[in-house]
Chain A
Amino acid sequence: MLNFFQLIIIYAGIYALMAIGQNCITGNTGMLSLCHAGFYCIGSYVTAIICKTMGLPFWFSLPVAAVAAGLVGFLIGVPTLRLKGDYLCIATLGLGEIIRNIATNVNPVGINSVPRAALFGYQFSSRNKLTFILLIWFFVMIAYVLFRQLAHSRIGRAMIAVREDEVAAQSNGINVTKYKIGAFTLGAAIGGVAGCFATAYTLTVSPGSYTFMVSVMVLCMVVLGGMGNLKGVILGAFIIEFISYFPQLVGLSSVIPAQASQVLYGLVLVIMMICRPQGILGRDRYRYGSQVKKGARKAAGAKEA
């Protein structure tokens, strides 16, 4: 049972990374994209190829996976981000499927027995889940801090302006296209990092695990937790992961079919839309005023001293 909880926490961490990326794209910049499974897939495969085929260490594959997924995000973004709303959603959905189908056609079996990630001689194995939890959540925290800083900077505010009104954003001197592509690239890169950790944990990659449902789950996490709220998004990752393992957790996996969790996602989303459409934690309010006061106090303190 404890083992199973640890598994959920590990997967919640991997999905939280993806959800942070999706939040950058959908929550902050307002682009409805459905191809995070594709970036996840790229990250996983890059890690597997670098660690297994090329025999290089895991820590080398981490930045390469991020750059590779980000690059694909950039190349996909340039032509598709002219589309808006549902059209962008459909185009990205197709692209996610294309990435998965390429993977299937190149190697339908996938890559097995990838070498374990190691740090100072210590090997992270799936048998010792606690250290893996520490590893993955350490990186979730880093991503959280980095993306929080982004959201509260001038650049992040411009991304929110693009979400709120593109025409007005242009009239404020914001190059809407560049911000959209930038946000999409960053979101894709962090999706690649998530794929990297997934490979490090399972030590296998197979094309069957990067389906459309993964993208939908990630989007659900963002909507459930609160669009544009990083804490909410991580909470959403926990809740969705918990739901998807619920049948196994209560020991009813023989009675409840695996597809039941999909019904549960739907149910959760419908209830959310009726009761609390802004997500569990709602929008992230950044108090600029308090920051100014703090700065003023600091200045006053300096004067006294």
Chain B
Amino acid sequence: MRILEAQGVSRIFGGVVAVNNVDFNVEKGLVNGLIGPNGAGKTTLFNQITGMDKPTSGKIIFDGKDITGLPAWKISRLGVARTFQNIRLYGDLTVIENVMMGLHFKVGADPFKGRFVQAVKSYFNAGRENRELYARALEWLEFFELDGLRDEEAHNLPYGNQRELEIARALAADPKVLFLDEPAAGMNPAETAHLMHIIERIRDKGVTVVLIEHDMKLVMNICDNITVLSFGQKIAEGTPEEIRSNPQVIEAYLGREED
């Protein structure tokens, strides 16, 4: 079952066609890979889907709803969470406060009241709300084994832990789909193995994962299906085995043999 569909999405920056008429399907409950050489338009496509940027043309359907062009904060409230290629944590806040921010719109939500009323209510209930947020954030830190670092400021964490914290913050919002933009970038093999274990556990929790990654070992081991982009175009789609033997993919990564 498809939980998210990008239909014919294009994004043109001036004269550069970063994403060209791409159809991208995300299957529910699976780990969906998105790979391609540098500059293929993977992150641009992510940005279109998560609302960080508006597509020039095309449609994005999430859970049966058209979300094309909605602002990012609305899309994340619908259940789309993401991490960033260059880690974006709230550096001055502590580890637990970062995760509490991930829970921001999960607490005090009252469908019968306007958001302004909710904000006023949460102003007066700050103490109780903070306790609730703290307890829930702590559960996520325990899931990532980061609870020992909870009072550390986020910018003081080692790189690998920062990556994990960013995933924890995204997951705290209880998303339906989690977009991970190169989570293994800059990690050593041990950290990558730990990351793979984490992604498996996230999938087992029933969260659909979309993964951009250059680490082929990770991608081939963990992804259930893979989409390949090259120069803004989709060149292949299929299981890891199909992708591995696809001549077009090999050409995109390694170039054509001249004879």
Contacts and interface: CB of A to CB of B under 8 A. Distances in A.
Q: State whether these chains interact.
A: yes
Interface of A: 149-150, 152-155, 157-158, 160-161, 164-165, 167-176, 283, 288-289, 291-292, 295
Contacts of B76: 170-173
Contact of A152 (B51, B52, B126, B150): B126
B143 to A, nearest CB: 18
Given A149-B123, A153-B126, A173-B77, 17 more contacts: A154-B104, A154-B133, A157-B101, A160-B92, A161-B101, A164-B93, A165-B89, A167-B52, A170-B72, A170-B76, A171-B88, A172-B105, A172-B169, A173-B173, A174-B73, A288-B130, A289-B151
Given A170-B76, A171-B81, A149 B101 contact: no
Contact of A173 (B88, B96, B105): B105
A160 B92 CA distance: 9
Contacts of A150: 123
B135 A172 contact: no
Contacts of B77: 173
Nearest to A154: B122
Interface string B57-89: 000000000000001111011000110100011
Contacts of A169: 73, 101
Contacts of A165: 88-91
Given A165-B90, A174-B104, A291 B73 contact: no
Interface residues of B, number: 43
B127 interface: yes
A164 B101 CA distance: 12
26 contacts: A149-B123, A150-B123, A153-B126, A154-B122, A155-B123, A157-B97, A157-B100, A158-B104, A160-B92, A160-B93, A164-B91, A165-B88, A165-B90, A167-B52, A168-B89, A168-B90, A170-B71, A170-B72, A171-B73, A171-B82, A173-B76, A173-B104, A175-B73, A283-B92, A288-B100, A295-B131
A167 B129 CA distance: 24
Contacts of B151: 289
A176 B173 CA distance: 17
B87 to A, nearest CB: 9
A166 to B, nearest CB: 9
A295 B128 CA distance: 9
A292 B131 contact: yes
A276 B84 CA distance: 32
Given A289-B151, A292-B135, A164 B90 contact: yes
Contact of B107 (A154, A170, A292): A154
Given A165-B89, A165-B90, A289-B150, A171 B104 contact: no
Interface-centre pick from A155, A283, A291 (highest chain B CB count, 10 A): A155
A170 B51 CA distance: 9
A286 to B, nearest CB: 8
B207 interface: no
B25 interface: no
A150 B129 CA distance: 13
A282 to B, nearest CB: 11
Nearest to B80: A171
Interface-centre pick from B81, B90, B100 (highest chain A CB count, 10 A): B90
A153 B92 contact: no
B134 interface: yes
